[in-house]
Amino acid sequence: MSNKLKISLACGMYDRTAALFDGRAPIEGCDVAAVPVEPEEAFHRAFRYHEFDVTEISMSSHMMTTARGDNAYVAVPAFISRVFRQSGIYVRTDRGIEKPQDLRGKTIGVPEYQITANVWIRGILEDEYGVKPSDIKWRRGGIEEPGRGERAPIDLGKDIDLQQIPDDKTLSGMLEAGEIDGYIGARAPSCFLRGAPNVGRLFGDYIEAEKDYYRRTGIFPIMHMVGIRKTLVEENPWLPVSVYKAFLKAKALAVKELNEICHLAVTLPWMVHHYNEARSIMGEDFWPYGLEANRHTIETFARYHYEQGLSKRKVAPEELFAASALDLSKI
């Protein structure tokens, strides 16, 4: 009979997490029941019902609950989802919106005000272009299905115009019909994917915009990290280091495969070229884990989160993580 700790693991099946599912990156001391789950589902089930022992968690939700003091999870600094977000701003091309400053006074849809992608986008709009959240009229609802609201209650300042769209409408439909001027979010609306008339990205060449942003700021935005149920950590204080080591190994295996030109690990013809281009712009460790390599990024997000009224105090990066996982480099 095994004396290993039985734990559940839920996260997206990314190349950087695949080794946790196929056994190449085991979690030391654990018998793992791993379930591939879409991020939004994992967030809902984890933050509302605390279903999983180890789970992918939203940076925004984790920071919000940490600031409130009612977070059921503590994180390790394995950042399994990162995305530049200049690509996530969609606009009506018939409204004279040619640059970010043209968003002032416009009506913009959001699936949720609090999601991590939108915190980053609003922060970038203000830092880089002087467009404040209060300069925009926000309309919240489902992207493709009506009725979506915030996953957790939020209390914004009186200067923020955030209203729910009608229950029988979707943001994609309203954008296509011209009932809103734009949309920001992590997922592309279906009207854009279908090539609907007068719907496009604010940044047409978003890749160059994102490269320029990285060169100037050094920020590769973090979306999701890995959380462990606090009650489990209290009973098994060794667990965060074991979990973090497994995620580090899984990422290392994935990155090694990206440079294998003999047999391509990803279904892209120029994958090795893209890998080497990322290294030339962002450095050898272009997708870093660990606190110190990401401190500036996390501090920037914490400032955005606080300034946008989503956390009532500015959270220090160390508060988000199990202390033992932050000392792993010393072991």
Alpha-carbon distances, residue 266 vs 64, 229, 275 (angstroms): 35, 33, 11
| Residue 327 CB neighbours (<10 A) | 11
What's the confidence (pLDDT) of residue 153? 80
Query: pTM value?
Result: 0.95
Provide the H-helix boundaries in the chain: 18-22, 39-49, 59-68, 116-129, 171-177, 190-193, 206-217, 230-235, 239-258, 271-282, 295-307, 323-326
Cβ–Cβ < 8 Å for 164, 138: no
Q: What pLDDT shows up at residue 330?
A: 52
pLDDT in tens, 81-140: 999 999 999 999 999 999 999 999 999 999 999 999 999 999 999 999 999 999 999 999
pLDDT of residue 32: 97
Query: What domains can be seen in the chain, in order of their start residue?
Result: 5-82+221-261+288-329 (3.40.190.10), 86-217 (3.40.190.10)
Among 34, 26, 83, residue whose Cα is nearest residue 249: 26
| Element holding 220 (H helix, E strand) | none
Q: What is the pLDDT of residue 54?
A: 98
Interval 295-312: pLDDT, tens: 999 999 999 999 999 999
pLDDT given for residue 1 in this prediction: 55
pLDDT, tens only, 256-275: 999 999 999 999 999 999 99
Give CA–CA dist 103/264, Å, rounded.
42
Per-residue pLDDT band for 329 (boundaries 50, 70, 90) equals low
What letter would DSSP give residue 263?
S
